A and B are shown apart, each in its own frame.
Chain A
Amino acid sequence: MAAHTLKKSIWSIGRIHCHVYGVNVRNPLNRATYATALSTNHSSQNKGFPDRGNRGPFNRRSRREAGDPRTDRMPVDQDWTTVYPTATPFRQGSVPLPVRMGFPVKKGVPPEKKGNLELIKIPNFLHLTPLAIKKHCEALKPFCTEWPSALDTGAKCDEHFPIKVESKDYVSAGTSLRNPSARIVHLRLKLSCLNLDDHARKKMVKLVGERYCKDTDTLAITTDGCPVRKQNYDYAMYLLTVLYHESWKMEAWESEKTVADMEEYSWEDSPSQKNIMSTLVRMQEYRDSVTRLKNEGESESSMHQYRDAVKKLLNL
């Protein structure tokens, strides 16, 4: 009786922790074990716990039944972008497809999508249907500007923007978005677009050494000495400026440039030219001796003269 009235009060008052002494609730199904002849209407889930009314470890009575999955209420022409607006793992209650994934058991089929971890593991592109991408593009259009129509060929781009700066950005999955390789800066330009005369050009090529490629006439400077990309970019521009100004300057010791320092072979003042010139000078004697030989015929003295002339010519 006490238990019965208490139970009624619980329904009206709410959750009150009541510990009823003296009522044996060990055997919930066998109500006849009670001393009193009450028709105890306890819920059948009192699993040996003291009577806590309807709270219990997990009260089935007030437990909501799991609702239908969303797939049951999906019309055929729905807007899929609302179901999967962003990248989300696979949700079997939101995807109305009878997908199966996994290795089948013997004489069986791949496991269904309900409770399938394999479908959750893989990345899915349900949020990237063509319609969704179109919507993204429409949303991004106001922030975009047209490419300038005057720069329609590569040559024009090179002409107006001769210096090309390249650097890489890195995206990775992790708690930190710093990547030390992102500080490297590459600077490329063609030497023909710089105002250099012959001496300046040769000096510039000598100064940069390996960074100049002769075939493409490209100077490539790579800087990675500083920790920040901006610093590396500034340093690369500084290097370019310094190289340009230095190559125009003429130092005093540059006049001591020897033949071994020359980049290319020049015919003037070369040993080959000197040799030929001296040979041509010695040709005079040879000419005289040959004309005498031909005019007077072969005689002892003319042959001697010819022999001496040839010896002198060939420096023997």
Chain B
Amino acid sequence: MRTLIALARVGTPICVNSGTRTLHATAICCKNRAARIRVGKGDRPLTYEQALHPHHIGHRKGWLSQHTGNLQGEAGASDRTVEDMFVRRFIFGTFHNCLANEVVIKRRGNMLVVCALMVQKLPPQKFYFLIGYTETLLSHFYKCPVKMEVQTLADKAVYKYL
């Protein structure tokens, strides 16, 4: 992305007959682009999660996943992180287009509690089937009880429009 910006400002060749070709480039624009949705026309609805940037975590935002692996003297942080990522992608794919917001993962002992906010896109029977399917599959995969706490909304909760 930054190289594109740099290359976009290539000036015209200085002189045709000097035999040299130079590249004119500006300095790299070191902007932080992590997890940020840029200001737009004003018609794009954002949830609270999307609207607040990562540096607000701990100040205005909470943590999406909680476990003891990151405490002093505890092990297993990397394993928990990998499990989290897998669970998030799994839920995202299983409940296609139904997620209203990010998935919150809580761990109580060895139990994995997946809290998800869904939009009422599917009939309840399908929801129940998918929830049961997710729970069984993830329990067998991780060898620990997995519970899903699903709440449904009619539509996404909008925090602001950008």
The interface residues of chain B lying within 8 Å CB-to-CB of A89 are: 104, 106, 113, 115, 149
CA of A177 to CA of B74 in the docked complex: distance in angstroms? 12
Q: Which of B66, B106, B154 neighbours the largest number of chain A CB atoms within 10 Å of its CB?
A: B106
Decide yes or no whether A92 CB sits under 8 A from chain B: yes
Contact with A176, one of B47, B76, B121 (Cβ below 8 angstroms): B76
Residues of A within 8 A of B60 (CB): 102-103
A173-B109 Cα distance, complex, nearest whole Å: 4
Binding site for A on B (CB under 8 A): 47-49, 52, 56, 60-64, 66-69, 73-74, 76, 79-80, 83, 100-102, 104, 106-110, 113, 115, 117, 120-124, 142-144, 149, 151-154, 156-157, 159-160
Please encode chain A, from 156 to 181, with 1 for each CB lying within 8 Å of some chain B CB and 0 for all others.
00000000000000011111110001
Q: Are B110 and A173 in contact (CB under 8 A)?
A: yes
Question: How distant is the Cα of A128 from the Cα of B133 in the complex, in angstroms?
Answer: 31
Chain B residues with Cβ below 8 Å from A58 are 121-123
Within 8 Å of chain B (Cβ to Cβ): is A118?
yes
27 A-B pairs with CB atoms under 8 Å apart are: A58-B122, A63-B123, A66-B120, A66-B154, A88-B149, A89-B115, A93-B151, A103-B56, A111-B159, A114-B153, A116-B157, A117-B48, A117-B102, A117-B104, A118-B48, A118-B61, A120-B117, A120-B151, A121-B62, A172-B74, A172-B76, A173-B110, A174-B76, A174-B110, A175-B79, A175-B143, A177-B110
CB of A174 within 8 A of CB of B79, answer yes
Q: Which residues of chain A come closer than 8 Å to B122, judged between CB atoms?
A: 58
If A103-B60, A111-B157, A172-B68 touch, whether A121 touches B142 (CB-CB below 8 Å) is: no
Asked whether any CB of chain B lies closer than 8 Å to the CB of A259, the reply is no
Q: How far is the CB of A86 from chain B (nearest CB, A)?
A: 10
Let me know if A111 and B48 touch, CB within 8 A.
yes
**Cα A121 to Cα B123 with chains together (Å):** 26
Q: Interface code A287-310, partner B: CB below 8 Å = 1, 0 otherwise?
A: 000000000000000000000000
Could you say which residues of chain A place their CB within 8 Å of the CB of B48? 102, 111, 116-118
- B157: contacting residue among A88, A114, A171, A173, CB under 8 A: A114
Cβ A171 vs Cβ B66 within 8 A: no
Whether A123 contacts B104 in the complex (CB less than 8 A), given A89-B149, A117-B49, A176-B76, comes out as: no
**Cα–Cα distance between A123 and B115 once the two chains are bound (Å):** 12
Q: How far is the CB of A176 from chain B (nearest CB, A)?
A: 7
Interface size class of A (residues with CB under 8 A): 20 to 34
Q: Is A175 within 8 A of B144, CB to CB?
A: yes
Name A's B-contacting residues (CB within 8 A): 58, 63-64, 66, 87-89, 91-93, 102-103, 105, 111, 114-118, 120-123, 171-177, 181
CB contacts (< 8 Å) of B80 on chain A: these are 173-174
Please, which residues of chain A bring their CB within 8 A of the CB of B68?
172-174
- Alpha-carbon gap, A120 to B56, bound state (A): 18
Question: Which of chain B's residues has its CB closest to A105's CB?
Answer: B160
Whether A174 contacts B61 in the complex (CB less than 8 A), given A66-B154, A117-B117, comes out as no
Measured in the bound complex, the distance between the Cα atoms of B149 and A66 in whole Å is 17
- Chain B residue nearest to A91 (CB atoms) is B151
Q: How far is the CA of A135 from the CA of B159 in the complex (A)?
A: 41
Complex Cα distance A160/B74, Å? 37
Query: How many angstroms from the CA of A105 to the CA of B159 in the assembled complex?
Result: 8
Bound form: Cα–Cα A91–B113 in Å = 14
Which residues of B lie under 8 Å from residue A173 when comparing CB positions?
66-69, 80, 107-110
A123 touches B66 (CB 8 A): yes
Q: What is the bound-complex CA distance between A107 and B144, given in angstroms?
A: 46
Contact A115 to B62, CB < 8 A, known contacts A174-B107, A175-B143: no
> Shortest Cβ distance from B152 into chain A, in angstroms?
7
Residues of B within 8 A of A115 (CB): 100-101, 117, 153, 156-157
CA–CA, A139 and B8, complex, Å: 73
- By a CB distance below 8 angstroms, the chain A residues around B117 are 115, 117, 120
A177 to B109, CA, bound (A): 8
B7 → chain A, closest Cβ, in Å? Answer: 38
Docked-complex contact A172 and B123, CB < 8 angstroms: no
CA–CA, A176 and B75, complex, Å: 11
A167–B26 Cα gap in the complex (Å)?
64
CA distance A171 to B159 in the complex (A): 38
Q: Which of A103, A121, A176 has the most CB of B within 10 A?
A: A121
Bound state CA distance, A12 and B30, in angstroms? 67
Q: Give the nearest-CB partner of B77 in chain A.
A: A174
* Distance in angstroms between the alpha carbons of A117 and B120 in the assembled complex: 17
